[in-house]
Amino acid sequence: NPAVTFAFLIGSQMSLFRAFFYICAQSLGALAGAAVLYGVTPSNMRGNLALNTLQPGISLGMATTMEVFLTLQLVVCIFAVTDERRNGRLGSAALAIGFSVLMGHLFGMLL
């Protein structure tokens, strides 16, 4: 997620050089994934393939605000579970991050 990479860059957890290449790799991976999805989907079903639209009554500002908060909760979760200074490491970092992504998707579907 380029937003997480950018947060790690701002939080001095990653160098500018590494962040640049991470974001390039993430963008190329997303482009490749979209190309594969486009290629395996029958042409009569490609109309609005994976097109994100807003629900009636939801403004662009509301959707942007929700997206910012959902990204923020993911970034805070990742920073919290990967902090090396934290002593009480209970549970799985991967499980916590996965649950955070799940919650982001569930709340984001409301838009």
| Structure confidence by residue, pLDDT tens digits, 74-91 | 999 999 888 877 777 677
In the chain the first and final C-alpha atoms are separated, in Å, by: 20
pTM for this prediction: 0.79
* Same domain membership, residue 60 and residue 45: no
Instruction: Provide the domain count of the chain.
Output: 2
pLDDT digits (tens, 9 = 90+) for 43-69: 888 777 777 788 888 899 998 999 999
Torsion of CA 84, 22, 8, 36, to 10 degrees: -100
* Same domain membership, residue 62 and residue 8: no
The domain of 45 spans 1-51
